[in-house]
Structure 1
């Protein structure tokens, strides 16, 4: 037979793991300097302009 598993514990561990990954993503997003944020915005707008300029038809 298999191992007995406490489903409540498994559910809580899964929720904690998801919370840790979400927290890591937020730290990566919000834990940047102002220069890094402005550079990211400029790169995003440049990519959007490049994509819009490459359209064949409107």
Structure 2
């Protein structure tokens, strides 16, 4: 079997990806979940502009 397992799994994954792409509903609001999750868990920490948030967090009055 050897290398045929890798080829068959790759072929199966390609079919799964193609079917997933076809079955997903398309429209103007298709990326709302990605935007929402990016706001919940940002990859880059938002920079504070100062103000009450920074005072409460670091204790500077």
TM-score normalised by the shorter chain: which range applies? 0.3 to 0.5
**Which structure would you say has the larger Rg?**
2
What TM-score, normalized by structure 2, do the two folds share?
A: 0.44
What TM-score, normalized by structure 1, do the two folds share?
A: 0.45
